[in-house]
Structure 1
Amino acid sequence: MAVSTPRFVYGAVLGSPYAARLLGGTLIGRLPNGMAPVAIVLWTLAAGRGIALGGLLSALYGLASALSQPVKGRLMDRYGQSAVHLPAAALNSCLLVALPLAAPRGGPAIATAIVVAAGSTAPPLQAGLRALWPSILPDLRLRHAALALDTGTQGLLYIVGPLLAAALASMHSPAAALAVTAALGLAGTLVVATAPPSRRWRPAPMTSGTGTTRRLAGPQLASLFVALAGVGCSIGALNVLGVAMSDAHGRQMLSGLLPAVFSAGSFLGGLVYGRRTWPGSTTRQLMFCSVAFLAGWLVLLPLLALHGPYAATAAVALPGAFLTVFVACAYVTTDALAPTDRTSEAYAWLICSIGVGQAAGTALAGRLADHALALAALPAAGAAFALTVLLLARPDQGAACRDRHRCHA
């Protein structure tokens, strides 16, 4: 049985000094994650370059953003958040605006270079916010709720972002969509980077008796990151699956509706999770969510295989409901297992793992697009991979907390 927290726990979180500002600024600043890939594809099509190039550029933007996260996280741990956020946001915005201006003169090679550079300079706002929660919310119960709220609302970016980019491109032009994407990313980053908690933040010093050369990821943390790549694979495969279903049934809205319902389930699951303190260690909660995430995809598999588009669209909320909880528990475990002076880098590796898995899932799903059953099974395969890795690793978050006395929940 769950132990109830105060009824207005989310109100208490958002009413804490700077919490609403930092969460809102992070969401606005990360809107390019949902907008830029769509805007890039639409710009490529409008320029007459074809959907193949557009899909490649969009994938490269996301992959470059994911792979560069650990470097930016390490820089934050060394130089502070504002010193990384502001230059990164300025470069990212300039490159997105420059794409429709410079690429037509230089062809696909210039477009590819600009897109990769833009993805690489996306500010690491998500990792930065996770590192700020302990200083903003000393109360562990409120921090538990904030982490679930933070993780759950990230899915909204991939509902609002693509719709906003498509609407701007339709009403104005893809170049305008890229310009607005750049402006929102810069504005949100400014809101976060100029907030006192972000300006003052520095990583916690290493505890006594541990050297500064302690490696970031031991076997347990590395296994957690590998498992999260499986989760990312499920998400990436779902996006392609939505497109395949829309083509098969002649209903274009399915391409956006399937991932939107999945994200909505993730958001609602996070809200339910964050309102209560659940029994058992974080490790047990992580394992339970991994099992439930896989079970949700297995329940969904017959509907996908039988080509029931609307039943499958409704049912995809089931695995989505456990995504936020899975990732929130992974963040708590990462915080406990990583060195105290490298938490931003550790969070960045977590984000990178999901992003790389998502790119791999998208690529695999694209290769399996002509094999309906294999494509439908791919999200479940990613979830099964994640569960298998966790069962073999059994990351002992509790031992790390006892050693460092800073368990979050």
Structure 2
Amino acid sequence: MSLTAPLAPAPRITYSAVLGSPYVARLLGGTLTGRLPNGMAPVAILLWTIASGNSIAFGGLLSALYGLSSALAQPVKGRLMDRHGQSTVHLPAALLNSALLVALPLAGPYGGPVLATAIVVAGGLTTPPLEAGLRALWPSVLPGPRLRHAALALDTGTQGLLYIVGPLLVAALASAYNPAVALAVTAALGLAGTTVVALAPPSRRWRPTSSAGTQDTALRRLTSPGLVLLFVSLTGIGFAIGAMNVWSIAMAEHHEQDMLAGIIPAAFFTGSFLGGLVYGRRTWTGTTTDRLIAAGAAFLTGWLPLVALPGPFAATIAVAVPGAFLTVVVACAYVTTDALAPASRTSEAYAWLILSIGVGQSAGTALAGRLAEQPLASAALPAAGAAFALTILLAARRRLGPTGQLLRGRHRRPLRGRHKTP
């Protein structure tokens, strides 16, 4: 007779347990509110430009410049957070970003297109790095790796809601009032959400732990082949998303159903949200690298039905499938980044990850715009981006792992009175 009692199964992780942990609801809610301008500002800028008598083409350019400048500035702001802390970066960035969004309708008519372009670019450059900041906070807030796994999936999955709620809110405000009001509300929400996060104790106390070795060693680790290849692969993920957005507009025009331009992306991001909920509640076997590649393969497979040129209803259902695996890919990419990046520069590494997806999305949007009048090519572009991502991941497999840890949390100073993160 064995004297060793059988191990009890690990308790099931629930999202109520995650959200009930100290500071989690505040940090997640504040980050989502503070990042609403990511989904609102490009639409509000476009509508304001048109209402001011400028062309749709110029409005589209300003909108694209806002998103591109925001993405390009992410690594710089991530590096500043690693050096000076989060609140020191978040609050000034939010104040500047909000002031510039409010100033755009006031200064635009007097300075013409040149001043409007300068304000929009400056506004993009000063967006607070809330996404990278939140990912860096989870290890210091949640003591257990399974809780952090669920929080990361919830956090990643809810991002898509920004691009559903944000444009709808802007459209409602612009319709009921005018685009200038939509810009003002965008600025207010961004400032309010960022303030909630920046003044939270975990954000104020957060500091990275110094890496062993010199700054040159840290830089070499940040530019290691594994991380570089991971980031390159994620440009393919972003490319698929950008191409999908344009393809949905082409579908709407082809079938003369304007609502498809919003319904198809909404279905994709709804799939992402639901996929994240399912992924975060389960404990998965195998390594993070295995899950990353498997999710990348499923992401690619999900796009293939579009090549058959389905009708509106079938297309809307179809895009929810790759959407469901988007959260898994991104969540595993963050875990891999955490494992490979130097401890003193993790926020910067997260920012490069965000930049990679953003650059890919811009490229996908640009190329899909040129091919929008060719239905088969337009429908095949998302799959092409996903295939590129999977190819790079497979080639980089040995450099990405193996690591079966959910989140290492090795580099964050725990809050006073809390259990130290393993």
Please say whether Structure 1 and Structure 2 have the same fold, judged by a TM-score greater than 0.5: yes
The one-letter code sitting in structure 2 at the alignment partner of 1:105 is Y
Equivalent pair of 1:5/1:276 in contact (CA under 8 Å): no
Equivalent pair of 1:29/1:125 in contact (CA under 8 Å): yes
Q: Deviation per CA, 1:337-390, whole angstroms, max 9, x where unpaired? A: 000000000000000100111111111111111111111100000000001111
Matches within 5 A, 1:324-403: 324-394=327-397, 395-398=399-402
Matches within 5 A, 1:164-313: 164-207=169-212, 210-214=213-217, 215=219, 216-302=222-308, 305-306=309-310, 308-313=311-316
Large movers: runs of 4+ above 6 Å: none
Runs of 5+ consecutive residues of structure 2 not aligned to the other structure: 1-7, 412-420
Q: Structure 2 CA distance, aligned partners of 1:4 and 1:386?
A: 36
Q: Deviation per CA, 1:128-178, whole angstroms, max 9, x where unpaired? A: 000000000120010000000000000100000000011000000000000
Q: TM-score, normalised by structure 1?
A: 0.95
Q: Note if 1:55 corresponds to 2:60.
A: yes
Q: Note if 1:20 corresponds to 2:25.
A: yes
Q: What residue is the counterpart of 2:16 in the other structure?
A: 11
Q: TM-score, normalised by structure 2?
A: 0.92
Equivalent pair of 1:337/1:400 in contact (CA under 8 Å): no
Equivalent pair of 1:4/1:276 in contact (CA under 8 Å): no
For residue 397 of structure 1, report the CA deviation from its aligned partner: 2.8
Equivalent pair of 2:287/2:403 in contact (CA under 8 Å): no
**Change beyond 3 A, Cα 1:4–1:118:** farther
Q: Structure 1 CA distance, aligned partners of 2:88 and 2:404?
A: 30
The one-letter code sitting in structure 2 at the alignment partner of 1:346 is A
Q: Structure 1 CA distance, aligned partners of 2:226 and 2:95?
A: 36
Out of 102, 106, 128, the residue aligned to residue 101 of structure 1 is 106
For residue 103 of structure 1, report the CA deviation from its aligned partner: 1.1
For residue 405 of structure 1, report the CA deviation from its aligned partner: 8.9
For residue 398 of structure 1, report the CA deviation from its aligned partner: 3.0
- Local SS of the residue matching 2:127: coil
**Higher alpha-carbon Rg:** 2
Out of 34, 37, 45, the residue aligned to residue 32 of structure 1 is 37
Q: What residue is the counterpart of 2:415 in the other structure?
A: none
Equivalent pair of 1:241/1:375 in contact (CA under 8 Å): yes
Q: Deviation per CA, 1:55-108, whole angstroms, max 9, x where unpaired? A: 111111100010000000000000000000000000000000011111111111
Q: What residue is the counterpart of 2:418 in the other structure?
A: none
Q: Structure 2 CA distance, aligned partners of 1:348 and 1:405?
A: 17
For residue 8 of structure 1, report the CA deviation from its aligned partner: 5.2
Out of 322, 326, 330, the residue aligned to residue 323 of structure 1 is 326
Q: What residue is the counterpart of 2:75 in the other structure?
A: 70
**Change beyond 3 A, Cα 1:314–1:400:** closer
For residue 400 of structure 1, report the CA deviation from its aligned partner: 10
Out of 117, 129, 137, the residue aligned to residue 132 of structure 1 is 137
For residue 246 of structure 1, report the CA deviation from its aligned partner: 0.9
Q: Note if 1:116 corresponds to 2:129.
A: no
Q: Structure 1 CA distance, aligned partners of 2:67 and 2:252?
A: 23
Q: Deviation per CA, 1:294-332, whole angstroms, max 9, x where unpaired? A: 000013321xx24x1111011110000000000000000
Q: Structure 1 CA distance, aligned partners of 2:265 and 2:403?
A: 37
For residue 243 of structure 1, report the CA deviation from its aligned partner: 1.0
- Local SS of the residue matching 1:277: coil
Equivalent pair of 1:4/1:277 in contact (CA under 8 Å): no
Q: What residue is the counterpart of 2:417 in the other structure?
A: none
Report how many residues are paired.
401
Q: Structure 2 CA distance, aligned partners of 1:94 and 1:137?
A: 34
Q: Structure 1 CA distance, aligned partners of 2:94 and 2:10?
A: 37
Q: What residue is the counterpart of 2:166 in the other structure?
A: 161
Q: What residue is the counterpart of 1:149 in the other structure?
A: 154
**Change beyond 3 A, Cα 1:405–1:141:** closer
The one-letter code sitting in structure 2 at the alignment partner of 1:330 is A
Q: What residue is the counterpart of 1:90 in the other structure?
A: 95
Equivalent pair of 2:229/2:396 in contact (CA under 8 Å): yes
Q: Structure 1 CA distance, aligned partners of 2:192 and 2:9?
A: 37
Equivalent pair of 1:77/1:342 in contact (CA under 8 Å): yes
**Change beyond 3 A, Cα 1:147–1:99:** same
- Local SS of the residue matching 2:89: helix
- Local SS of the residue matching 1:252: coil
Q: Structure 2 CA distance, aligned partners of 1:405 and 1:166?
A: 40
Runs of 5+ consecutive residues of structure 1 not aligned to the other structure: none
The one-letter code sitting in structure 1 at the alignment partner of 2:207 is R
For residue 7 of structure 1, report the CA deviation from its aligned partner: 4.1
Equivalent pair of 2:65/2:121 in contact (CA under 8 Å): yes
When the two chains are superposed, the root-mean-square deviation of aligned CA atoms in Å is 1.9
Q: Structure 1 CA distance, aligned partners of 2:146 and 2:289?
A: 17
